[in-house]
Structure 1
Amino acid sequence: MESVLKGTAFFEDDAFPFFIQRYCIRRGEIIPSHTHDFLEFVYVVQGGAVHDMAQHRYVLNTGDVFVLEPQTYHSYEGSASEETVLYNVLFKKELLQKEFDALLDMPAIIRSFFLAPFLRKQASFVPHFALRPRQRADIEGHLDAIAQEFEERRTGYRLIIKSRWIECLVLLNRFYEDPDRPIGLPPVRDEWIESIVHFVRDHFRQPLTLSQLSASCGMSVSSFTAKFKKATGMSLMDYKQSLQIEHACRLLQTTDAKIIHVAYSSGFQDVSFFNRAFRKHTGLSPRQYRQAHSPNA
């Protein structure tokens, strides 16, 4: 029977949604299909278990790295000839909320943590990438240190774990951008754009940029701009802003939040700019819109 694993069974508390373990899949062992409500990062220390994920089957190799987003069902079948040792890092995005904007400047982070859910349905999508021996040593060193801190829980261990984990993500982004890294057949560009559109709909309140998202697709800014406009009928910034205004309209209709709070909650950092953008899209000021759409209007 497929099961759903909850973060509450692994995390110490809501303030520190993080868990790490070094796990051994025995020869021939079957780990039944399951999913979870947290992100899972997996690093293959050694071995060749079979991994079934999102209706595709993959053979793992030493040095493979991959990320499983919430609600992705997967299972393992141990190799007949050897044990498979994995590092599993379980966490929620909230752990790195303050660093979120900086992480979104890294193409590999966008691809692995945010675009993967939308790309999995494409036959050309390759979910794992393999680290070179020197890269494996770097990542294993960090994971070993994190696991030790997590087990011993000495003074300041949460700060050390968080800083080490951020360093791991930065290193993985560098490894992913290595021009000599062997890759499989990449998704066609139209598949990337479809995924980016989904991504923007989920993260429109973040300060996304053209250079950031075009890099995550491996496109030039001009090529990305043309394909995005063909897919949506709008430029990236116009599309993002339209989603922000839609969100602001919902807040103005359903809450009594102050205009400044509506602006910030919708991803605007400048209230004057928010007012101009809102009038451009609706023909009304935020205050006029609220008055016209209030229940007593």
Structure 2
Amino acid sequence: MVKRTVRLFSGTNYFNDITSIFINRSIESYEVIEHYHDFLELTYVCEGIGTHHINNEVIRVTKGDFFLIPVGASHVFRPGSISKEKQLVVYNCIMPLEFALQMLQAVPGGKELWHLLAPSEIWHLRDLNGEVHSLFERLYREFSIKRIGRDVALHASVLQLLTYIARLKTEDETISIQNGMDYILAILHSEYDKTITLQELASELGVGERQFQRLFLKYTGMTFLNYLQQIRIDAACRLLRTTNYKVSYVASSVGYNNIAFFNQLFKKKVGLAPREYKQLNK
């Protein structure tokens, strides 16, 4: 049996008297060997696909997977491909365990989060609404740009991140579904001009299509189709009011290539034909 080589990553290489929080954005490769460390690590997959090797377990990872890695736990990431177009990119946020404890002791209610500092194993979580991604992006920006209030901002973002992790670990499935629906609605509001299927969104939420339709109706008071149509028609109204675009261009800009269907739907939702609405709002 081949003995695994596991290397220690020491905090002395990352921390100094000025700061006890270190953030980086790393492109994973096969050059990094399996390792453990004497500090707490929070890591987030922000691009690509690959695997996370934790002791003898191999976990497939994609954008949105993140991990809380305690002191002494061994692990390593591996990219799914050596192609530069399919790189596995992760954010890492590390800090000494003693520092994290002092930080939590210094804030009201911090004691509630102490259990995060010494879990018995690596925690694998999923960013359902993009909030964790935003926190890691903010941490990386604050760490990279040395400006006034940098340490305050780093401490605040780390506390937000720890709080979010604690809630994910302790709150029930209903909260997870709510977070997931927030993410689904964000997709609809930002990508309404693209082809979006119920099947794709149900898969994103991790439920079947029928359950997705029930959850969507309960969460929004509307069916998936009616909700998407309303977003698109609202966007069309904005374009008709604020631009000189032709109706056909407006229709395609909000996801409708069939101009006859668009005109029919617009009149049903608004009470006026698109050209009438445009004239009325000149």
Q: TM-score, normalised by structure 2?
A: 0.52
Asked whether 1:5 is paired with 2:9, we answer yes
- CA distance in structure 2 between the partners assigned to 1:2 and 1:114 by the alignment: 21
Aligned to 1:157: 150
Is the partner of 1:71 in helix, strand or coil?
A: coil
Aligned to 1:58: 59
Is the partner of 1:58 in helix, strand or coil?
A: strand
8 Å CA contact 1:41, 1:68 repeated in 2: yes
Shift of 1:73: 1.5
Aligned to 2:95: 91
Alignment deviations for residues 147-168 of structure 1 (CA, whole Å, 9 cap, x no partner)? 1221122222111110111112
Alignment deviations for residues 30-57 of structure 1 (CA, whole Å, 9 cap, x no partner)? 5211111101111111222211112221
Structure of higher CA gyration radius:
2
8 Å CA contact 1:30, 1:77 repeated in 2: no
8 Å CA contact 1:49, 1:78 repeated in 2: yes
- CA distance in structure 1 between the partners assigned to 2:120 and 2:6 by the alignment: 22
Aligned to 2:47: 46
Percent identical among aligned pairs is: 22
Describe how 1:6-25 pairs up with structure 2 within 5 A. 6-13=10-17, 16-25=19-28
Alignment deviations for residues 252-295 of structure 1 (CA, whole Å, 9 cap, x no partner)? xxxxxxxxxxxxxxxxxxxxxxxxxxxxxxxxxxxxxxxxxxxx
8 Å CA contact 1:16, 1:95 repeated in 2: no
8 Å CA contact 2:28, 2:79 repeated in 1: yes
Is the partner of 1:70 in helix, strand or coil?
A: coil
Is the partner of 2:173 in helix, strand or coil?
A: coil
Describe how 1:197-276 pairs up with structure 2 within 5 A. none
Describe how 1:120-131 pairs up with structure 2 within 5 A. 127-131=123-127
Counterparts in 2 of 1:104 and 1:66: CA distance versus 1, 3 Å: farther
Q: Aligned pair count?
A: 165
8 Å CA contact 2:50, 2:78 repeated in 1: yes
Shift of 1:116: 2.9
8 Å CA contact 1:7, 1:17 repeated in 2: no
Aligned to 2:132: 139
Counterparts in 2 of 1:147 and 1:19: CA distance versus 1, 3 Å: same
- CA distance in structure 2 between the partners assigned to 1:174 and 1:5 by the alignment: 29
One-letter amino acid of the structure 2 residue matched with residue 129 of structure 1: L
- CA distance in structure 1 between the partners assigned to 2:16 and 2:143 by the alignment: 11
Counterparts in 2 of 1:91 and 1:61: CA distance versus 1, 3 Å: same
- CA distance in structure 2 between the partners assigned to 1:74 and 1:63 by the alignment: 18
8 Å CA contact 1:30, 1:76 repeated in 2: no
Aligned to 2:173: 179
Q: TM-score, normalised by structure 1?
A: 0.50
Asked whether 1:34 is paired with 2:38, we answer no
Is the partner of 1:32 in helix, strand or coil?
A: coil
- CA distance in structure 1 between the partners assigned to 2:168 and 2:77 by the alignment: 26
Alignment deviations for residues 95-129 of structure 1 (CA, whole Å, 9 cap, x no partner)? 331424833424xx62x532333xx7xxxxxx312
- CA distance in structure 2 between the partners assigned to 1:171 and 1:87 by the alignment: 17
Alignment deviations for residues 206-243 of structure 1 (CA, whole Å, 9 cap, x no partner)? xxxxxxxxxxxxxxxxxxxxxxxxxxxxxxxxxxxxxx
Counterparts in 2 of 1:161 and 1:98: CA distance versus 1, 3 Å: closer
- CA distance in structure 2 between the partners assigned to 1:175 and 1:75 by the alignment: 24
Q: Mind listing any 5+ residue stretches in structure 1 that lack a counterpart?
A: 121-126, 183-297
Shift of 1:178: 4.9
Aligned to 1:209: none
Counterparts in 2 of 1:142 and 1:22: CA distance versus 1, 3 Å: same
RMSD over aligned CA atoms reads: 2.4
- CA distance in structure 1 between the partners assigned to 2:71 and 2:39 by the alignment: 5
- CA distance in structure 2 between the partners assigned to 1:150 and 1:12 by the alignment: 14
Aligned to 1:231: none
Counterparts in 2 of 1:178 and 1:44: CA distance versus 1, 3 Å: farther
